[in-house]
């Protein structure tokens, strides 16, 4: 993913990104992973209302949910990060941004929406990181396919946690600023 792409995430004409609301037709969302569908259908709004996470939905031209992502905050232990990432960090729990969920509906997969949603989620993280500091974005990949999808964009495995991936804030900053 290039810096320019992260800076200016453009969705195709007719698509719009909105913060999840009760009126959005989330019960009809199918991305092929029941766990992801179930999150959006029955938990995402509750968690948002409790201020545990925020979800954004990409609506298509008829108002159906074409995709979504959920962001939250979290912590990882100092010892969970690779030594090269922690050289100058204190030995304690460290704040992270969490890309908790991402999905694209089956009828829209393969048309670049997942890549754009990931870019927008990372942009949201970067913007939040100007005000609330964190050392990395982390996520738990559901399976090998999802892991391969994220690894294309510089997410790396946490040592000893093959499905937990991270992107350092320094790398995110490079993507955003091109420096
Ligand atoms: C993973 C997912 C979000 C990808 O969305 P998508 O809209 O189909 O992806 P895109 O069309 O933007 O594809 C972007 C690139 O990633 C690749 N890609 C897409 N899905 C992939 C997968 N499962 N594994 C590896 N690479 C993948 C595409 O080939 C494409 O490459 P290209 O740019 O060279 O053509 C979507 O398949 C999905 O919702 N899956 C089910 C839920 C899930 O696994 N979510 C992630 C874990 S929470």
44: domain CATH number is 3.40.630.30
Q: Please choose from 2, 58, 114 the residue to mutate so as to test ligand 1's pocket, defined by most ligand atoms within 8 A of CB.
A: 114
Judge if the beta carbon of residue 117 lies within 6 A of ligand 1. no
CA of 110 to the centre of ligand 1 (A): 7
CA of 7 to the centre of ligand 1 (A): 20
The answer to the question of residue 31 being in a domain is yes
**Domain containing residue 170:** 14-177
Share of the chain above pLDDT 90, in %: 87
The answer to the question of residue 6 being in a domain is no
The pLDDT value given to residue 158: 93
Read off the pLDDT of residues 4-29 as tens digits, 9 standing for 90 and up: 455 669 999 999 999 999 999 999 99
Q: Which atom of ligand 1 is nearest to 110's Cα?
A: 11
The answer to the question of residue 57 being in a domain is yes
Q: Strand, helix or coil at 68?
A: strand
The answer to the question of residue 50 being in a domain is yes
Judge if the beta carbon of residue 109 lies within 6 A of ligand 1. yes
The answer to the question of residue 4 being in a domain is no
CA 123 – CA 117 distance, rounded (Å): 10
Total count of domains within the chain = 1
Give which of 144, 146, 141 is closest to 164, Cα–Cα. 141
The model carries a pTM of 0.93
Judge if the beta carbon of residue 102 lies within 6 A of ligand 1. yes
Contact 38, 84 (CB under 8 A): no
CA 26 – CA 39 distance, rounded (Å): 10
- Give the mean pLDDT of the chain: 93
Catalytic residue list contains 150: yes
Read off the pLDDT of residues 43-102 as tens digits, 9 standing for 90 and up: 999 999 999 999 999 999 999 999 999 999 999 999 999 988 888 899 999 999 999 999
Judge if the beta carbon of residue 2 lies within 6 A of ligand 1. no
The answer to the question of residue 5 being in a domain is no
Please tell me what DSSP assigns to residue 22.
T
Contact 104, 113 (CB under 8 A): yes
Res. 3 pLDDT band, cuts 50 70 90: low
The answer to the question of residue 43 being in a domain is yes
The answer to the question of residue 135 being in a domain is yes
The pLDDT value given to residue 178: 79
């Amino acid at each position: 993913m290039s810096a320019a792409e992260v800076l200016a995430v453009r969705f195709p004409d007719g698509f719009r990104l909105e913060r999840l609301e009760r009126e959005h037709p989330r019960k009809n969302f199918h991305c092929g992973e029941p766990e992801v569908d179930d999150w959006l259908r029955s938990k995402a709004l509750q968690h948002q209302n409790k201020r545990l996470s925020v979800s954004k939905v990409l609506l298509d031209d008829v108002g159906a949910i074409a995709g979504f992502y959920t962001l939250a905050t979290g912590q990882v232990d100092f010892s969970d990060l690779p030594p090269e990432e922690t050289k100058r960090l204190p030995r304690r729990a460290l704040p992270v941004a969490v890309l908790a969920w991402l999905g694209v509906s089956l009828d829209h997969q393969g048309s670049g929406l997942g890549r754009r949603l990931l870019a927008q989620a990372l942009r949201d993280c970067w913007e939040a990181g100007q005000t609330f500091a964190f050392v990395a974005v982390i996520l738990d990949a559901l399976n090998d396919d999802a892991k391969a999808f994220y690894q294309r964009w510089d997410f790396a495995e946490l040592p000893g946690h093959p499905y937990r991936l991270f992107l350092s804030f320094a790398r995110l900053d490079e993507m955003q600023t091109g420096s």
